[in-house]
Amino acid sequence: MSTLGTGPAGSPRLILASASPRRRELLAQLGVPFEVVVAEVIEHEEPSTDPRVMVAHNAALKADWVAARHPGAIVLGADTTVFLDGAALNKPRDAAEARAMLRRLSGRTHTVFTGIAVRRMSDALRFDEGVASEVTFKPIDAAVIETYLGRVNTHDKAGGYAIQEQGDLIVAGHHGSYSNIIGLPLETTKQLLTRCGLLG
């Protein structure tokens, strides 16, 4: 996945334009060979921005940057944020911010938005999709928050949590795509890659 080349038997090459190890793991579940090229872009993370607009913008920004440098490849970009009370909860800057996010999420239902952008410059192939899921937190106190922060590295995770890591401590339930909450909705991604000819 780390070397640039053509796919097996002349199949279209797929590039994941993301540094996220979770997206890498999720995409691998679809069984399509891919490479990883991290886009060198500055993402828009203004909390007051409509979350659908934000994730769509950032996903396209990443995909467009990588596609411009690898015009023959199909490039997949994605971006995810957590939304509550009219504001996006992006990746926390430090433990204090993660702690504050978890306090806000406690006992409430929030929405997880992911934007997906697929690009191939050589023939102007372009798809954009958005997916939303809901997550309900258990009421959690300071002790639970400290336990969670002690077990999970929250600094690279929107909302300061990962549902797949110690989720039983903090999550009461969810509605919609579980993989979307992790960072890449596999159902929608599979549909897009099928339309691109990468999946039968």
Q: Which of 50, 79, 123, 128 is catalytic?
A: 79
3-class secondary structure for the chain? Answer: CCCCCCCHHHCCCEEECCCCHHHHHHHHCCCCCCEECCCCCCCCCCCCCCHHHHHHHHHHHHHHHHHHHCCCCEEEEEEEEEEECCEEECCCCCHHHHHHHHHHHCCCEEEEEEEEEEEEHHHCEEEEEEEEEEEEECCCCHHHHHHHHHHCCCCCCHHHCCCCCCHHHHEEEEECCHHHHHCCCHHHHHHHHHHCCCCC
Active site residue 79: yes
Active-site amino acid positions? 79
